[in-house]
Amino acid sequence: MNAALPERTALTLGPVLFNWAPETWRDFYLRIADEAAVDTVVLGEVVCSKRAPLYGVHLPAVASRLKAAGKEVVFATLALVIGPRDLELVEALCGADALIEANDVSALGHLRGRPHAIGPMINVYNEGTLAWLASNGARRICLPPELSADSIEQLGSVAIDREVLAFGRLPLAVSARCYHARSRGLTKNTCQYACDADADGMAVETMEGESFVAVNGMQTLSHACANLLGDVDDLQRRGVRRLRLSPQKVDMVAVAQVFRDRLDGTLAADESLERLEDLAPDLPFTNGFYHHAEGSAWVPARG
Amino acid sequence: MNAIDRKVQPMELVCPAGTPAALRTAVDAGADSVYVGFRDETNARNFPGLNFSRPELEAGIAYAHAKGAKVLVAINTYPRAGDMGPWHRAVADAAALGADAVILADMGLCAHTAEHHPELRRHLSVQASASNPAAIRFYQAAFGVKRVVLPRVLTVDQIRALNREIEVETEVFVFGGLCTMAEGRCVLSGYVTGISPNKDGACSPASHVRYEDQGDKLVARLGGMCVDQFPTGSPAGYPTLCKGRYVTGNDDKAAYLFEEPTSLSMIEHLPALQAAGVRALKIEGRQRGRAYVGRVVQAFREAVDDVAAGLPPNARDLMALAEGGRGTEGAYRKAWQ
């Protein structure tokens, strides 16, 4: 080996997208603080403003514990901002003395001229948009899941840290309508928090019994789980130095360790993939978008 | 002058034109504006056989302008990384050909247009999904956007409240196809087919549709996946992913989990939209034939003028033109959410 060792690739734990019970949510992050090999943790409610107060009481303590454990803590904004309650949440968050990850354009005016991050729910497809966001103060971006490897590489022409979603269900859509509520004959206003029944989202199948998506309130996620373990060398070649792991109802501490060991070279590609399969035996994997295929596809590593 | 007698300025009627013939039909039927796209991936109706070459657009603009109508050019997909040329050329050509405005979604393209074609009026596409005052004020301040096409996620009450807080004009969809997800923020089609509205300008593309006759039923597939099934002999719908039937854990029976195969129809609610401060009304359907365009535009022309004169709109027989023969007020009605 004569090539210089690449700069270390960091791991980010994305925000919990699902409506977990407040104590479950708190305990999940306390364990992350103590045990997980992640560098950055993104906290906050991305999907539905009605959920934010539920675990909000635990938020300050969780953030403190994560920081005390040496993690960088970032706060994410809502993705779909409609009513006054949504706007108040975004405004309050952007007013805080913290690193904010914007998931809706409504946050960008507040964050102008201040270092901040861009989340995967803001449409960034090209270097023109990315350069503009960088001029507005963005320092890091978690790219939309739809981007291919070529696009991810092209975006490297802008001086901003690129992060790529490497594990977890893909966020496919948001809607003003809550499908959890609708599936029970309710509406968003009368939802009775129907979404708390499905810790990993509500399974949605076709009429032929094929798994399709997972509904998470107003959000629709892929059934298949992103997995770019086999693509980490390629990602590094394309200048990506940060990967995001999105929380699922699997052992996320173990998932993070697999990625860390693979990135550090202490775990071979084949072996790391087998470990991940053992950790999430019921989840099909996907890396289709990265390989310029349909997003549900699995493209095995070459060679 | 008595306030009751005063006629308000009619809302602008913005009509679809997928072809030069549809443009002429829409203008003749009373469109105030038509919106069009170039024949490539720079617009969100990138379908085979649709859209305008440069000479066709030039002729279309001449025809519309001669009759007092405006032409808005939709350049509302998201430019490809490392290959933004086609989108930049589309903006430059729209400006050179005398378009009255461009309809943009991508922030980078908005910035490019503001810098290189500052005199060209900029509308924010529905594909940008600007759903609140803070986002809209941002687009206005950063890129000089004059009008925003609102995503179909807002109730009429929310639109009224929004208009009180912003300076730019608002345009809302009133008839035609209906997205269930927030526009520009859905990659369901890309997940199943690899082709998506944001990248490619197409959703649930016809190239990936297959109908499979299984004897007692017809299975409608997209990218091989079953989206719906129909008893043999009954009309089969198009397999748009968000209008399909699916099974969830709550119920063993397949249901329209996201939305039923209906079309948006707001003709009866035009007085409420006018009172909410809406400046322009948009009819979806650049993929539609000119007969459809002519009938819908004519019906809305009469309705918009009636409403401006304080008369109730005549809904006529528009429902025959709606998808599945059914209309919905969609998200404009609060209970939809």
Tell if the CB–CB gap between B135 and A294 is shorter than 8 Å: no
Chain B residues near residue A203 by CB distance under 8 angstroms: 248-249
B246 CB within 8 Å of a chain A CB: yes
Tell if the CB–CB gap between B82 and A154 is shorter than 8 Å: yes
Task: Name the residue facing A187 among B105, B248, B337 (closest C-beta).
Answer: B337
Handedness of CA B161, B328, B151, B101 (dihedral sign): negative
Among chain B residues, the shortest Cα distance to A130 is held by B108
The two tokens of residue B19 are 């072809």
Between CA A40 and CA A242 the distance in angstroms is 10
Cα maximum dimension of chain B: 70
- Minimal C-alpha gap between A225 and chain B (Å): 12
Tell if the CB–CB gap between B132 and A210 is shorter than 8 Å: no
DSSP A229: G
Chain B residues near residue A293 by CB distance under 8 angstroms: 194
Question: Taking the model in full, what pTM does it have?
Answer: 0.95
> Residues B136-146: pLDDT tens digits?
999 999 999 99
Among chain A residues, the shortest Cα distance to B141 is held by A109
Between CA A103 and CA A138 the distance in angstroms is 12
Q: B12-178+262-336, what's its fold?
A: TIM Barrel (3.20.20)
Q: Considering only residues 141 to 170 of chain B, which have any Cβ-Cβ distance to chain A shorter than 8 Å?
A: 141-142, 153-154, 158
Torsion of CA B255, B256, B261, B267, to 10 degrees: 120
Which residues are paired to A138 by β-bridges?
A: A116
Residue B326 is predicted with a pLDDT of 62
Task: Name the residue facing A172 among B111, B188, B254 (closest C-beta).
Answer: B188
> Residues B81-130: pLDDT tens digits?
999 999 999 999 999 999 999 999 999 999 999 999 999 999 999 999 99
Task: Name the residue facing B249 among A170, A202, A288 (closest C-beta).
Answer: A202
Among chain B residues, the shortest Cα distance to A79 is held by B185
Q: Candidates 3.40.50.300, 3.20.20.70, 3.30.2130.10, 1.10.3720.10; correct CATH number of A10-169+224-286?
A: 3.20.20.70
> Residues A143-181: pLDDT tens digits?
999 999 999 999 999 999 999 999 999 999 999 999 999
Name the pLDDT band for B177 (thresholds 50, 70, 90): confident
A/B interface, count of CB pairs below 8 Å: 219
For A221, counting Cβ atoms within 10 Å of its Cβ (0-12 exposed, 13-18 middle, 19+ buried), the class is buried
What is the rounded average pLDDT of the residues A17-41? 98
Domain ranges in chain B?
12-178+262-336, 188-255
- A17-31, A53-67, A159-173, B5-19, range with the lowest pLDDT: B5-19
- A53-57, B20-24, B333-337, range with the lowest pLDDT: B333-337
How large is the ipTM? 0.96
Distances, alpha carbon B213 to alpha carbons A20, B204, B237, B246, in Å? 43, 20, 14, 19
Cβ–Cβ contacts within 10 Å for residue A157, how many?
12
B229 CB within 8 Å of a chain A CB: yes
Mutate to test the interface with B, among A78, A90, A174, A177 (most CBs of B within 10 A): A177
Tell if the CB–CB gap between B190 and A294 is shorter than 8 Å: yes
Chain B residues near residue A147 by CB distance under 8 angstroms: 81
Residue B36 is predicted with a pLDDT of 97
Handedness of CA A64, A70, A72, A78 (dihedral sign): negative
Chain A residues near residue B245 by CB distance under 8 angstroms: 207
Domain ranges in chain A?
10-169+224-286
B168 or B4, which is more confident: B168
Residue B325 is predicted with a pLDDT of 55
- Minimal C-alpha gap between B107 and chain A (Å): 5
Chain B residues near residue A209 by CB distance under 8 angstroms: 247
Residue-wise DSSP of B265-278: E-GGGHHHHHHTT-
B245 CB within 8 Å of a chain A CB: yes
Chain B residues near residue A82 by CB distance under 8 angstroms: 131-132, 153-154, 158
Is beta strand A285-286 parallel, antiparallel or unpaired with respect to A40-43?
Answer: unpaired
Chain A residues near residue B204 by CB distance under 8 angstroms: none
Between CA B124 and CA B141 the distance in angstroms is 13
Q: How far is CA B241 from the centre of its chain?
A: 18
